[in-house]
Chain A
Amino acid sequence: METVLKTSHGRTLRTEEMVINMGPQHPSTHGVLRLELVVDGEIVIDVIPHIGYLHRCFEKHSEHMTNYQQVIPYVDRMDYVAAMNNEFSFAIAGEKLLKIQVPERVEYIRVIMAELQRIASHLIAIGTFGIDIGAFTPFLFCFRDREKILDLFEMTCGARLLYNYIWIGGLSHDLPPEFIPKAKEFIVDFRKTIKEINDLLSYNHIFIKRTANIGVLPADVAINFGCTGPMLRGSGVNWDLRKNDTYSVYNKFDFEVCVGKGEFGTVGDCWDRYMVRVNEMEQSLRIIEQAISTLPEGSISSAIPKRVRPNPGEVYGRAESPRGELGFYIVSDGTGTPYRIKARSPAFVNLSVISEISRGYMIADLVAITGSIDIVLGEVDR
């Protein structure tokens, strides 16, 4: 009797095809992601991602909270390397629902924190991407400087990874007096690190050979799949929510949106996505510099509501996290408990395009493609 072999989404295997599981425990899947690969020798024919290993159903937890502010620690744990941006996005949605205007000082501090966090998150992305390709040293440089950012966070709110810092209507702590000089020192130091990273990794011949022309994502495919953040900008689309749907005080600062130009290959390849992140760190530094120099005085907690009890209604609030558009859809029934919260996580959407862009490449290239998407499984699975 002839047995018919099938993949988990029902594709019948041909004689020369074989199924290999990459993950859930695999260093290059950046967490617990399982990629079911259909391969013909070394060539990838199809990729079927299996997610959900980190699923905690944060959305169900939120429906049992008695106060919207209690959701914020859960939001931290979604994208655990960019917790500030998650809080920021959630606070924007909550404030839109409650129609709160927050003091200007709060907005400035939020922007400083969000941009520092963006640099920290991009440093992890760049460092681990280097490791995936085989470059170990840049990883150490990245983590050395990320540590300085975490020190800044620690002196502000006491936590280094999961902060519970940005609340609906305000912040948990004001900046300590030593924050500003330390941040200025960091900006000066970090400009040198960016140059080091460029010298060591970005323009390294082996690195370019491994990433240019690999995993090309055309702009129309990226838009149709809903990719955002460096994924979309790497494909040459000039789209950044900080500019295009400006929120908070981003319209007061001068910065550029970095897009992929296909310098060493095709627009939208792995190198472009990587380089967008490197260039964005420089732009974040510019925003932080401007925000620090014009930081207004004022209260940080005057707009925090005593009880968060929005009128019945619904809202979709979004902000640009390091991975792209992070949105929160909140439905309120007029009580203190959220009726429904849905997170539109950028990593979840960006990962869905992987099978589209990795067909026909080698298995070793798939490692580069996964690294360049920059997923955080805590956010994919929520």
Chain B
Amino acid sequence: MTFQEISEILKQKFETAITAVKAEVQPDPYIIVEAKSIKEISTFLRDDESLSFDFLNCLSGLDLKGKLATVYHLSSMKHNHKFVIRIEVATEQPNIPSIESIWKTANWHEREAFDMFGIIFDGHPDLRRILMPYDWDGYPLKKDYQVPEFYNGMKVPY
């Protein structure tokens, strides 16, 4: 199925939850959905027969300067189609429900997005830092990130 068809199905089913359909973005268009309904939408995308998105390719954090976003790249092995969903939240309150229970791939990817952007995934069973040291301050991939001068008494910029 094409992006148009899938977004039409979602629009009919979850009319209020979809904020925008960015069909003009090239080459990979996406839709923006509300954070609170991501679990419902994900479950529908996975379980619906004609969609059956059984595979979460990638979950990325994104800093949009003032807003934080997560991007979900989904694909279906059965029908061989792809879809992209984005969630945008305010930097001051970066809470997004975890979809770890739907696709286990999200477990480590959400930890990475938390580690790099400080996005808090509510309901994640084990939200610890994954790549940075556990006692590191700040979130490195944010656009306004300042490298700390010292880490445990060691000079950081070399």
Given contacts A8-B128, A226-B57, A315-B28, A57 and B141 within 8 Å (CB-CB) = yes
1/0 per position for B94-124, CB-CB distance to A under 8 A? 0000000001110110000000100000000
- Interchain CB contact under 8 A, B62 and A313: no
Chain B positions near chain A (C-beta within 8 angstroms): 25-28, 30, 54-58, 60-63, 71, 73, 77, 80, 82, 84, 103-105, 107-108, 116, 126, 128-133, 140-141
1/0 per position for A235-247, CB-CB distance to B under 8 A? 0010100001100
Docked CA distance A331–B65 (Å): 14
Docked CA distance A60–B63 (Å): 12
Docked CA distance A325–B73 (Å): 13
Chain A positions near chain B (C-beta within 8 angstroms): 8-10, 51-52, 55, 57, 59-60, 96-97, 99, 223-226, 237, 239, 244-245, 311, 313-316, 318, 325, 327, 329, 331, 340, 342, 344, 348-349, 352-353, 356, 381-382
Q: Assuming A52-B130, A52-B131, A223-B54, what are 17 further A-B pairs, CB within 8 angstroms? A: A8-B128, A10-B126, A51-B130, A57-B140, A60-B141, A226-B55, A237-B77, A245-B80, A314-B28, A316-B28, A316-B58, A316-B73, A327-B57, A329-B60, A329-B73, A340-B60, A352-B105
What is the minimal beta-carbon distance from A382 to any residue of chain B, in angstroms?
Answer: 8
- Interchain CB contact under 8 A, A316 and B57: yes
Docked CA distance A60–B28 (Å): 23
What is the minimal beta-carbon distance from B138 to any residue of chain A, in angstroms?
Answer: 12
- Interchain CB contact under 8 A, B132 and A52: yes
What 5 A-B pairs are tightest by C-beta distance, nearest first? A226-B105, A344-B58, A52-B131, A342-B60, A352-B108
Residue of B27, B82, B103, B128 contacting most chain A CB atoms (<10 Å): B27
What is the minimal beta-carbon distance from B72 to any residue of chain A, in angstroms?
Answer: 11
The DSSP consensus for interface residues of chain A is mixed
- Interchain CB contact under 8 A, B58 and A342: yes
Given contacts A311-B26, A316-B58, A344-B57, A226 and B104 within 8 Å (CB-CB) = yes
Interchain Cβ contacts under 8 Å between A and B, 14 examples: A52-B132, A55-B131, A57-B141, A59-B116, A223-B55, A226-B104, A327-B58, A329-B58, A329-B60, A342-B58, A344-B73, A348-B108, A349-B108, A352-B104
